[in-house]
Chain A
Amino acid sequence: QSVLTQPPSASGTPGQRVTISCSGSSSNIGSNYVYWYQQLPGTAPKLLIYRNNQRPSGVPDRFSGSKSGTSASLAISGLRSEDEADYYCAAWDDSLSGAGVFGGGTKLTVL
Chain B
Amino acid sequence: EVQLVESGGGLVQPGRSLRLSCAASGFTFDDYAMHWVRQAPGKGLEWVSGISWNSGSIGYADSVKGRFTISRDNAKNSLYLQMNSLRAEDTALYYCAKDTHDSLELPVDWGQGTLVTVSS
Residue ranges of A at the interface with B (Cβ–Cβ < 8 Å): 2, 33, 35, 37, 39, 44-47, 50-51, 56, 86, 88, 90-92, 96-105
Cα–Cα, bound, A46→B108 (Å): 8
Cα–Cα, bound, A51→B62 (Å): 24
Q: In the complex, identify which listed stretch (B21-29, B42-50, B78-86) lies at the interface while the others stay far away.
A: B42-50
| Residue in B100, B104, B105, B110 whose beta carbon sits within 8 Å of that of A45 in the complex | B110
Residue ranges of B at the interface with A (Cβ–Cβ < 8 Å): 35, 37, 44-47, 50, 59-62, 95, 100, 104-113
| Residue in B44, B60, B104, B113 whose beta carbon sits within 8 Å of that of A44 in the complex | B113
B107 touches A47 (CB 8 A): yes
B106 touches A50 (CB 8 A): yes
- CB-CB nearest 4 A-B residue pairs: A100-B47, A105-B44, A44-B110, A102-B45
Q: Given A88-B45, A92-B105, is A98 in contact with B59 using a C-beta cutoff of 8 Å?
A: yes
